[in-house]
Amino acid sequence: MAKKPLGKDKMGIQKVMRIPDYLGDATGQFSLNAISGLVGQLTYFYTEKVGVAAGAIATTLLIVKILDAFTDIIMGYIVDHTASGKEKYRPWILRMVLPTAIMMILMFTVPANVGTPLQVLYMFITNFLFTAVIYTIICVPYQAISVVRTNSQEERANIGTWRAAAGYVSGMIIAVMIIPITNMLGGDQKAWIMFSAVLAVISALLLFITWKTSKEYPAADGQTSETGKEPEEEKIPFKETFKCLFHNKYWVMSLILAVCANVFYGLSNSSGTYYCKWIYGDDNLVGILGGVGLIPTIIGFVITPVLIKKLGITKTLRFSFVIGIVGNVLRLINPYNFVYNAVLGCFSTFANIPMMCLLGVLTAMSIDYSEYKFGRRLVGSAQAAASFGSKVGNGLGTSLIGWCLAIAAYESTMTVLTPAVKQAIFTFNIYAPLAIFVIMFIVAMKFDLEKKLPEIQKELEKRKSAEKEQA
């Protein structure tokens, strides 16, 4: 029995997404954030459980992210230049199900008693394979699916919200549970391996669900298109692809926002453990802190769609960034009180949710602008670069923690908090997030594409109609 066709959005574009579609799609983000969440915990794991110096860790992770830049761009180019067919994006997700599970465990099996150089080499190889190869191969096609699956900006925003919600649940599970559970299991390296093994199985199963439930191309009646094929696209040289992207000011702004939002995400995932251990005196408090963070997270996902309907996309972002700025400024008054900072930390958590929900929408808007301005629809490459921004941002957030600790001469064996280490912890937990929200607010003030988009999309439709008539 055929499903009842869905209605149209407020711009008159046919809807194609149902609740099961959103849910199945979002499971992929759960797995991706499980990967980034575990990577975000590596600085703490390497310093406290393996005994590697913080500076060596930060430098190693940064080198991986620099190399990661190239793999993202390469993957985007591969996707854009894959021959159009029924399965242009989806197969990549299925291919990475088993490798994801394996590498999620290997990340924490750092060999003991082999010397620091070999441990650092192992860290480099596993991080590179996990983030620069496996994560990239999943993420770039996965992000592209959100663009080609529906033409509705409303549904794209909904996809972003569902994905962000799933991602935050994944991130919260790790932030709230990893320290208490691993401590309960003995607090050693073996405990971390056991935790990662369970998460590996869950993530692999969810990636399979994402592959199984995904559709690539929208149809007017809300069903899968008869051909299941995307129109053939002109193959664009690598150099010209870059030129189009970096001459697209809206894509550049989206990239900056992606980097900033994920620097914050990387910091929030990794810095809380150090803050709880040294400022509050109990690293188990990170579980309570994460639990409290669920409140603004839930509120954020409920309120964000409402804010978008009332304020629009860019005004919603500006509003949320102001909240983040205010929350971090107030934390400077008393950074030592657990309850006070837990409450104000909710401001920052809430403030970043609209950005994580709408990043894909901003990128999709910039793709439409690129097609309008340059006649090039660079779905894969644009999403790859956005993915690069997200991963580099997350990596910079994690590396920033290591560098701050290294500059402060932090030692995992220290028993007394030094003034230098205290300032380092304040830097990556309060000062850096404050600066990030200020930068994002400034960029959001310059992003004025939303009001231009209806006319741009009308023009693109006219061009497509004219091309069909000529053909």
CB of 37 closer than 8 Å to CB of 196: no
d(CA 396, CA 84): 35
| pLDDT for 201 | 95
What secondary structure letter does DSSP report for 14?
B
| pLDDT for 387 | 66
pLDDT at 402 over 60: yes
| pLDDT for 28 | 93
pLDDT, tens digit (0-9, with 9 covering 90-100), for 333-372: 999 999 999 999 999 989 988 988 888 788 888 888 888 8
CB of 204 closer than 8 Å to CB of 93: no
pLDDT, tens digit (0-9, with 9 covering 90-100), for 51-92: 888 888 888 887 887 788 778 778 877 877 776 556 778 899
Instruction: Measure the CA angle with vertex 17, ends 11 and 18; round to 5°.
Output: 125
d(CA 93, CA 110): 27
Stretch 44-48: mean pLDDT: 88
| pLDDT for 147 | 78
Q: Which residues contact 78 (CB under 8 A, 6 or more apart)?
A: 380
pLDDT, tens digit (0-9, with 9 covering 90-100), for 204-263: 999 999 999 887 766 444 444 444 444 445 566 767 777 788 889 998 999 899 889 888
Which of 18-22, 199-203, 227-231, 341-345 shows the lowest per-residue confidence on average (mean pLDDT)?
227-231
Stretch 293-299: mean pLDDT: 85
Q: What's the mean per-residue pLDDT of the chain? A: 85
The domain locations on the chain are 25-214+234-464
What CATH number labels 25-214+234-464?
Answer: 1.20.1250.20
Q: Which residues contact 27 (CB under 8 A, 6 or more apart)?
A: 166, 206, 207, 209, 210, 213
Closest alpha carbon to 137 in 87, 204, 68, 199: 68
Give 399 or 384, the one with higher predicted confidence.
399
Q: Which residues pair with 8 in a beta bridge?
A: 14
| pLDDT for 157 | 80
pLDDT, tens digit (0-9, with 9 covering 90-100), for 149-188: 887 878 888 888 888 888 878 877 887 788 889 999 998 9
Closest alpha carbon to 437 in 324, 313, 332, 271: 324
pTM confidence score = 0.70
- For the ranges 13-17, 186-190, 273-277, 434-438, the maximum mean pLDDT occurs at 434-438
pLDDT, tens digit (0-9, with 9 covering 90-100), for 96-115: 999 999 999 999 999 988 88
d(CA 65, CA 34): 18
Exposure on the CB side of residue 227, measured as CA atoms within 13 A: 6
Rg of the chain (C-alpha set): 22
For the chain, the farthest-separated pair of C-alpha atoms sits apart, in whole angstroms, at 76
Structure-token pair, residue 462: 């006219």
d(CA 51, CA 271): 18
The dihedrals phi and psi of 334, each to the nearest 5 degrees, come to -150, 85
Which of 195-199, 287-291, 419-423, 429-433 shows the lowest per-residue confidence on average (mean pLDDT)?
287-291
Q: Which residues pair with 203 in a beta bridge?
A: none
Judged on CB neighbours under 10 Å (0-12, 13-18, 19+), 10 is exposed
Closest alpha carbon to 396 in 203, 264, 296, 225: 264
